[in-house]
Amino acid sequence: MATEYPAFKAAAAHVAPVFLDAEKTVAKACSLIAEAARQGAALIAFPETYIPAFPLWSAVVAPIHNHEWFKRLAASSIRCPGPELERIADAARRAGIVVSLGFNEGTADSVGCLWNSNVLIGEDGAILNHHRKLVPTFWEKLTWANGDGAGLRVCDTRLGRLGVLICGENTNPLARFTLMAQGEQVHVSTYPPVWPTRDPRGGGNYDLAAAIRIRAGAHAFEAKAFNIVASGFMDAAMREELATLGPEAARVLDESPRAVSMVIGPTGEPVSERLSDREGLLYAAIDTRACVEPKQFHDVVGYYNRFDVFDLTVDRTRRRPVSFRGSEPAPAPGEEDLAGGLMS
């Protein structure tokens, strides 16, 4: 069978959620899915934990002041599967578009356990992959549990072979190689709107836009793949609510570097405009034929590797807090394993 090289239009959603409101953020996501489809996009990628927010409060005030914010986030987190994702899947189905969606995931196993998760939804509304971020980064550990390897999968679609990693995972060489080694042609990277690490007045703050550009370019260049970068945006409503944390917290958020959204081609160079200081949908043309020629130079999952020297094993077990022997209880509602089918 001859190899096919799909070409399509992609959209990166450089957008803000309706802060800590899952229902309204789902409605906004559905509207953006329809808009992207009207503009001819076959895929739309949303930012990290788009539903219902990224926990920026953990960066700018001490943990002893964060309890109410965590409780609000937990109350607005969603399940996989669940009614909110059903609405997103129905919007994808109606629009005939592939959707990559970041969200805060809750579980029936614990009222306080959250994951930083992403689902890839097919144009037919089926969930193709469900990934939980492997390791929360720095102050993110105050919010999310460790994920597992169950979602380290590349999905074969009519748009090509699609993979997703969340924020700092795009700096993890083994996670990235796991996707490369599954023939990834189109990669989605998701990020928050801002990521403070220091008081900006002291200097040396983390330059999020520069870090994104380095990571995204490196993966695109090494994988010889397109990289769709979808970062969050802090709108006025989000900034106003976070400002209630105090004037110093507001100042740090105002002065910290913003994220950037873009699409990078398989040579490591951008093939789209950049969005940073305004909200919107960013579009780019993707032709997977462009992934072929660079493989002649360096194919790190083909001839440019030494499989007699290097050996990588990935555990894809979906981790659960308890296992039962004997009379196995039925799964809690919304907690079916991916292999059993999350959504039809």
Catalytically annotated residues: 48, 133, 167
Q: Nearest CA to 79 among 50, 106, 114, 116?
A: 106
Residue 309 CA to residue 152 CA, distance in Å, equals 23
The CA–CA distances, whole Å, from 89 to 1, 47, 199, 309, 335 equal 32, 17, 40, 43, 17
Residue 327 CA to residue 141 CA, distance in Å, equals 36
Residue 65 CA to residue 216 CA, distance in Å, equals 34
Instruction: Enumerate helices (H) and strands (E) in the chain, giving the number of each.
Output: 9, 11
Vertex 151 angle, CA 234 and 82, to 5°:
65
* E strand residue ranges, 108-166: 110-121, 127-132, 155-157, 160-166
Vertex 193 angle, CA 192 and 196, to 5°:
85
Q: Nearest CA to 59 among 235, 170, 199, 172?
A: 199
Q: Do the beta carbons of residue 317 and residue 149 sit within 8 Å?
A: yes
